Amino acid sequence: MPASTPPQFLEPQWFFPLFCCFWVFLCAVLSLAGGWLSLSRDFRAFDETEGQRFRFRSGSLGLWPFPVTGYGNCLFLVVNDSGFRLSILFLFRPLSPPLFIPWSAVRSVQVGRFLFVRYTLVRLKRGWPAIALRGDAGDYLAATFERVSTAA
């Protein structure tokens, strides 16, 4: 009885191209489900932003308290008096371009704690998905929002 040959797409030379296609598809689905793509329609950042930088931070995006997308140690945040820029590590960037969200689009910023984790919840106007940031990056964002909103 002759041995059956496996399908051609299971051969080793197809692993990397198929893995790349799957990775891009998965990142695109997360961008759509979490709301990053919908935010990018109104808040896409084309230029670099000056301000306080935070690298490799964690957060989530989506409807609170059950966000669709959690980003662990792959977010980059820049905060200044005009707003904040949010971007993601290039490996996870398909359909998730950098965002710049002005303070005028922010409805509220709340600092909270869930078990042992501090988080800052940014609620935007017009029903956009909420953004939650953990740790010192969220604390700095909340302090800047409070300072800018009271000065206005």
Task: Report the domain count for the chain.
Answer: 1
Beta carbons within 8 Å of 121's beta carbon, 6+ residues apart? 64, 109, 110, 111, 112, 130, 131, 132
61-98 pLDDT, tens per residue?
877 666 666 788 999 999 999 999 999 999 888 889 99
We report the CATH number of the domain holding residue 96 as 2.30.29.30
Global pTM reads 0.84
Q: Say if 47 falls within a structural domain.
A: yes
Residue from 149, 150, 122, 140 nearest 52 by CA = 140
Q: What is the residue-averaged pLDDT of the chain?
A: 87
* pLDDT given at position 33: 82
Q: Is 135 a member of any domain?
A: yes
pLDDT at 2 (0 to 100): 61
Q: Is residue 86 part of a domain?
A: yes
In a domain, 22, yes or no: no
Range of the domain at 55: 34-151
* Weakly modelled stretches of the chain, pLDDT under 70: 1-3, 6, 9-10, 64-69, 152
